[in-house]
Amino acid sequence: MNSLRLGAVCVGLLVFCALVSFVWTPYPPAAIDVPHKLAVPSAAHWLGADALGRDVASELLAGARVSLLVGVIAVGIGLTLGVALGLFAASVRGAVEDAIMKACDFAFAFPALLLAILLTSTYGPGVVNAIAAIGVANIPVFAKLTRAAANAALAQEYALAARAAGRGPLAIAFEHVLPNIAAPLIVQATIQFAIAILAEAALSYLGLGAQPPLVSWGRMLADAQTWLWVAPRLAVFPGLAVAFAVLGLNLLGDGLRDALDPKLRARL
């Protein structure tokens, strides 16, 4: 099975779990059930229960929701604002382009985590601020990628032909450049999606992401820390979930790159 199909299956499974969790989970995800705390996996609790008796399987399913939400919105922010910035830079060129790219380089110097800590310490912890932080951190990534790809596209003769036909820079950017640079952007988006999930997990682990009663894999990891010697499975399951999601997205990205690129370069 090639990367594309495998990746698509993994991501599809993820989406499926997230959707299903809205309708049904074995137990209500945040339902505390202290008598059954630290239950081993059994017919009643498929993957066991955590220190407060919450069903691990249910939490995993619900956690998928948060991961996907974070991924979609954060990458969405990065894509829309980053691509717009990159297209703008490539279209105007000169000092403005340099200034924008230097600003992106500067932004790279700040890890998303630091930005998240800054935001949450100012505005309070929560998944919304986590998404905002990760989203903003995505912007320079897409801006730089878009600018480089857009410059290559603008150097092509069809861009010059469009100018000769009387099209303005906005029309050229959206009708000619964007469709031709979509492939590397899509691939990068899947990579950033995976990074966003990891980032959210890290933030939640630090207590800055999803707050209870919202379930997140990262928070599960954080909670599992105290019980690591007694019940390591409490860390293994959410860890595997994160790994599975990241792997699936990376495979999807690889597969998409292979599927999209050669077609673009196809010539008779």
Partner 1 sequence: MSAPLLEVSGLRKAYPLARASWFGPRPQRLAVDGVDFAIQAGRSFGVVGESGSGKSTLARLAMALVKPSAGEVRLAGRSLFALSRSELKSARADFQMVFQDPYGSLDPRMRVERIVAEPLPRGLSRPEQTARVAAVLASVGLEADAGRRYPHEFSGGQRQRIAIARALVTRPKLVVADEPVSALDVSMQAQVLNVMTDLAAEAGVTYLLISHDLAVVAHVCDEVAVMFQGRFVETGPADLLLTRPSHPYTRELVEAAPRFEQAPLKSAAPPPFPDAATGCRYAPRCPLAETRCLAKAPQLTVRQDGRRVACHRA
Site string for partner 1, 66-105 (x = CB under 8 A): ----------------------------------------
**Closer residue to partner 1 in complex, CB, 19/264:** 264
Q: What dihedral do alpha carbons 260, 264, 177, 168 form, nearest 10°?
A: -150
Distance from C-alpha of 214 to C-alpha of 202, rounded to nearest angstrom: 15
| Interacting span for partner 1 (CB under 8 A) from 41-49, 56-64, 122-130, 260-268 | 260-268
Q: State the number of binding residues for partner 1 (CB under 8 A).
A: 20
**Closer residue to partner 1 in complex, CB, 152/235:** 152
268 makes contact with partner 1 (CB under 8 A): yes
Least distance from partner 1 to the Cβ atom of residue 162, Å:
6
Least distance from partner 1 to the Cβ atom of residue 175, Å:
8
Cβ atoms of residues 58 and 44 within 8 Å: no
Positions in 132-171 near partner 1 (CB under 8 A): 156-158, 160-168
Strands (E), 98-218: none
Distance from C-alpha of 192 to C-alpha of 14, rounded to nearest angstrom: 16
**Closer residue to partner 1 in complex, CB, 80/156:** 156
Distance from C-alpha of 113 to C-alpha of 131, rounded to nearest angstrom: 11
124 makes contact with partner 1 (CB under 8 A): no
Least distance from partner 1 to the Cβ atom of residue 266, Å:
5
**For the CA atoms of the chain, what is the radius of gyration?**
22
**Closer residue to partner 1 in complex, CB, 43/266:** 266
Distance from C-alpha of 268 to C-alpha of 266, rounded to nearest angstrom: 7
Distance from C-alpha of 56 to C-alpha of 60, rounded to nearest angstrom: 6
**Closer residue to partner 1 in complex, CB, 35/262:** 262
Which residue do the tokens 């340099």 mark?
Answer: 98
Nearest Cα to 11, choosing from 74, 60, 67, 95?
Answer: 67
Separation of first and last alpha carbons in the chain: 29
Site string for partner 1, 172-201 (x = CB under 8 A): ---xx--xx---------------------
| Phi, psi at 264, each rounded to 5° | -65, -35
**Closer residue to partner 1 in complex, CB, 109/165:** 165
Q: How many CB atoms lie within 10 A of CB 239?
A: 16
**Closer residue to partner 1 in complex, CB, 99/160:** 160
111 makes contact with partner 1 (CB under 8 A): no
Interface residues with partner 1 (CB under 8 A) are 156-158, 160-168, 175-176, 179-180, 264, 266-268
